[in-house]
Amino acid sequence: METISENLNYIQKQIAIACKKSGRKPDQVRLLAVSKTKPASAVVAAINGGQLLFGENRVQEARDKISLVAEEVDSTNVEWHLIGPLQRNKVKVAVNLFTMVHSVDSVDLAIELNRRALKSRPMPVLVQVNVGREPQKSGFLAEAVTYAIKQMAELPGIKVKGLMTIPPATDSAEEARPYFRELAQLAKTINGLKIPGIDMAELSMGMSHDYMVAVEEGATLVRVGSAMFGARDYNI
C-alpha cells in the first residue's frame, strides 16, 4: 500500500510538469483517482497519502466501497464522482453518493437526474462526448452536444459544468492529443454561446497513459486508475 502514496506523489509531479510545459497552474487540475475494481483498503491508502477525490464507474460497487471506507477513515472531505454509464433505475442512489456525474450521455438521463436531484440538491454534471465517433462508445457526437446542453440548461436540478470524453484507444499518448484538443475547442465554442446557467469550466479527459497530454490540452479533471492503484485484474 506504500506504493499507492508513491504513485500519487509521482502522478502529482507529472501533472505539475505538464502544467509548467503548457503555462497552466497545477491548482487548475484535479486528480480523480479511479478506484473501480480495487478494494476499500486501496482507497484508504490513497486517502492516507492525501488523495480526496475518487472515481467509480458502477453505482453498486461505489455504494459498498464508500461505506467500507467510511468505517476505516474520516472521510468527511472525500468526494466521489461517477464516471461510468448510469442506468435510469440507479439515478436515485447515484444522486446521494456522488458529487459529480461525468457520464451524462443523453437528455433523458439528464431529465431523470434533474427529477431526483430536485428532491435533494443540485447535481453538477459533465456531458460525455464521443470525440472518436466510435459506434460502441457512449456520448454525444460533437454536432449534437450544443442542442443537448441547451435542453439541459432548462433543468434546475442539474448544473452542466463541462465536458468529458474517453478518446479511442491509441498506442501513444501523443495520438490522443487531437481528441483532447477537439473537446477543449468544443467547450470553448459552447461557452461563447453564453447559454444562461452554463459555464463550461471543467474538462474531464486523460487517463493513466495520456493524462499529461490531456493536461497540456486543458484538462481540469484527469481520471487516473491503473497508474495509481496498479493494473486491474478484470476490466469493467
Q: Where do contacts with ligand PLP occur on this chain (CB under 6 A)?
A: 34, 36, 57, 83-84, 166, 207-208, 223-227
Could you tell me the smallest distance in angstroms from the CB atom of residue 17 to ligand PLP?
18
Q: Is 53 exposed, middle or buried (0-12, 13-18, 19+ CB in 10 A)?
A: middle
Query: Coil, helix or strand for 19?
Result: helix
Could you tell me the smallest distance in angstroms from the CB atom of residue 55 to ligand PLP?
7
Nearer to ligand PLP, 164 or 198 (CB): 164
Nearer to ligand PLP, 126 or 155 (CB): 126
Could you tell me the smallest distance in angstroms from the CB atom of residue 63 to ligand PLP?
17
Alpha carbons 107 and 155: distance in angstroms, whole number: 10
Nearer to ligand PLP, 139 or 157 (CB): 139
Could you tell me the smallest distance in angstroms from the CB atom of residue 128 to ligand PLP?
9
Nearer to ligand PLP, 65 or 223 (CB): 223
Query: Coil, helix or strand for 158?
Result: strand
CB of 75 closer than 8 Å to CB of 51: no
Nearer to ligand PLP, 163 or 207 (CB): 207
Could you tell me the smallest distance in angstroms from the CB atom of residue 100 to ligand PLP?
13
Query: Closest by alpha carbon to 74, among 98, 39, 56, 47?
Result: 47
Could you tell me the smallest distance in angstroms from the CB atom of residue 169 to ligand PLP?
10
Nearer to ligand PLP, 18 or 155 (CB): 18
Query: Closest by alpha carbon to 149, among 164, 135, 136, 134?
Result: 164
Give DSSP secondary structure letters for 71-129: HHS--TT-EEEE-S---GGGHHHHHHH-SEEEEE--HHHHHHHHHHHTTS--EEEEEEE
In the structure grid, which three cell numbers stand for residue 86, read together? Answer: 448510469
CB hemisphere CA count around 165 (13 angstroms): 33
In the structure grid, which three cell numbers stand for residue 16, read together? Answer: 505539475
